[in-house]
Amino acid sequence: MSNIAVSEKDLQRFCRDLLKQSLPDEEAEVIAETLVDADLRGVTSHGVQRVAGYLKRMEDGIIERKTDISVVQDSFATALLDANNGWGQVAGVKAMEMAIQKAGQYGTSFVGVSNSNHFGTASFYTRMAAEKGFIGISMTNASPIMVPFGAKEPSLGPNPISISIPAGEGKKPIILDMSTSNVARGKIMVAKKNKESIPEGWAITKDGKQTTDADEAWEGFVLPMGPKGSGLAIIIDILSGVLTGSLFGKRIPRQYDDPYPQQLGHLFGAINIENFGEPELFYQNVLEKIEETISSEPSEGFDQVYMPGDMESQRKKEYKENGIPLSQEIINELRKTGEKYGVDLEHYLSQNKQRN
């Protein structure tokens, strides 16, 4: 299947201008940045292909046009924000900025968000912390479209968690960003749009049978990453949902199926490494750990040993140089969405071709 390469700058301009038709400019900038950042790292499941679904929920009154964040509780090292059914990305950036500020003053901080929506990639926020020399932590609960290990009825989201660890100035941080399911449901959405099959082990049908059909999988449920993924998803649901006073488990409406606000919960953390010892020694040991890992001899069937986040960083470098590859199906959807809001995708693609 042929892809069309679109420059990061042009794709972000299109998404920003599209979102600005309905959202405040500042919020449109944030959301566009998070979506294109996902595509730039090869995480298509959380990229611009979500724009149409986001806007539809907003049009249907399920997401507010403006994110009016209020502070519910604020102590020395913790805080709880209410997103008031606004955009998860906007609330996420605000919460992580607050966590970083508090950790700089008190050593560590956790900031929760209640009454929110899908926030994109979890690592977008942890990288904010790592870029400032803090260890970053983020997690969220999600729609109950994943079955607990051994079950056939869903009661969990594929609740993701990210931890980013700085490695010193000018050095690439370690970036862990993982779903607790075998695959993010967004990848099934991409396969469905591209009319592709999916690998066995990703999902089951609504009747509890294994499937490689993306349409059946979309109507069914994703599988956890074994008992460990299932257990971690439960803990994240409690830390993100129960702790923040948000919805959790089966109470959460399904993002693409139920016409109700999701009221998701997120949790963001920052750790100031200076409060645990000499930063330079920390960075030295982190770099030693990185080298120890990537210098390991690959086992049969592998060419290289990677650190968490390395493959995404490689894609980012490649896509910055050569453009972000988008399938024709996603391009068509962006074009259709743009036409609806009076934003002509061809204008941005023609500029992209002139640059290339």
Lowest mean pLDDT among 86-95, 183-192, 227-236, 336-345: 183-192
The reported pTM is 0.93
**Do 315 and 255 belong together in one domain?**
yes
pLDDT score of 354 = 46
Residue 356 has pLDDT above 80, yes or no: no
The whole-number average pLDDT for the span 68-84 is: 99
Residue 71 has pLDDT above 50, yes or no: yes
The whole-number average pLDDT for the span 121-134 is: 99
pLDDT score of 295 = 97
**Do 55 and 39 belong together in one domain?**
yes
**Do 203 and 278 belong together in one domain?**
no
**Do 195 and 110 belong together in one domain?**
no
**Do 34 and 99 belong together in one domain?**
no
- Report the distance separating Cα 240 and Cα 248, nearest Å: 8
The whole-number average pLDDT for the span 65-78 is: 98
Residue 350 has pLDDT above 80, yes or no: no
Residue 195 has pLDDT above 50, yes or no: yes
| Number of domains comprising the chain | 3
pLDDT score of 187 = 86
pLDDT score of 352 = 58
**Do 259 and 131 belong together in one domain?**
yes
**Do 314 and 351 belong together in one domain?**
no
pLDDT score of 257 = 84
pLDDT score of 305 = 97
3-state helix/strand/coil string of the chain: CCEEEECHHHHHHHHHHHHHCCCCHHHHHHHHHHHHHHHHCCCHHHCHHHHHHHHHHHHCCCCCCCCCCEEEEECCCEEEEECCCCCHHHHHHHHHHHHHHHHHHHCEEEEEEEEECCCCCCHHHHHHHHCCCEEEEEEECCCCCECCCCCCCCCECCCCEEEEECCCCCCCCEEEEECCECCCHHHHHHHHHCCCCCCCCCEECCCCCEECCHHHHHHCEECECHHHHHHHHHHHHHHHHHCCCCCCHHHCCCCCCCCCCCCEEEEEEEEEHHHCCCHHHHHHHHHHHHHHHHCCCCCCCCCCCCCCCHHHHHHHHHHHHHCEEEEHHHHHHHHHHHHHHCCCHHHHHHHHHHHC
- Domain range enclosing 195: 182-223
Q: Write the pLDDT tens digit of every residue in 131-152.
A: 999 999 999 999 999 999 999 8
- Report the distance separating Cα 188 and Cα 204, nearest Å: 12
The two tokens of residue 174 are: 């370690």
**Do 132 and 4 belong together in one domain?**
no
Task: State the catalytic residue, choosing from 46, 118, 266, 347.
Answer: 118
List the CATH number of the domain containing 110: 3.30.1370.60
Backbone φ, ψ for residue 79 (5° rounding): -160, 155
The whole-number average pLDDT for the span 50-78 is: 97
**Do 235 and 167 belong together in one domain?**
yes
Residue 184 has pLDDT above 90, yes or no: no
The whole-number average pLDDT for the span 154-169 is: 97
Residue 111 has pLDDT above 70, yes or no: yes
The two tokens of residue 38 are: 């996902």
The whole-number average pLDDT for the span 264-271 is: 99
**Do 20 and 124 belong together in one domain?**
no
The whole-number average pLDDT for the span 276-290 is: 98
pLDDT score of 179 = 95
List the CATH number of the domain containing 6: 1.10.1530.10
- Report the distance separating Cα 36 and Cα 356, nearest Å: 19
The proportion of the chain whose per-residue pLDDT surpasses 70, expressed as a percent, equals 98
pLDDT score of 351 = 61
Residue 347: active-site member: no
**Do 256 and 243 belong together in one domain?**
yes
Residue 126 has pLDDT above 60, yes or no: yes
pLDDT score of 193 = 85
pLDDT score of 7 = 96
* Average pLDDT of the chain to the nearest whole number: 95
- 154 or 350: whose pLDDT is higher? 154
List the CATH number of the domain containing 196: 3.30.60.50
**Do 189 and 109 belong together in one domain?**
no
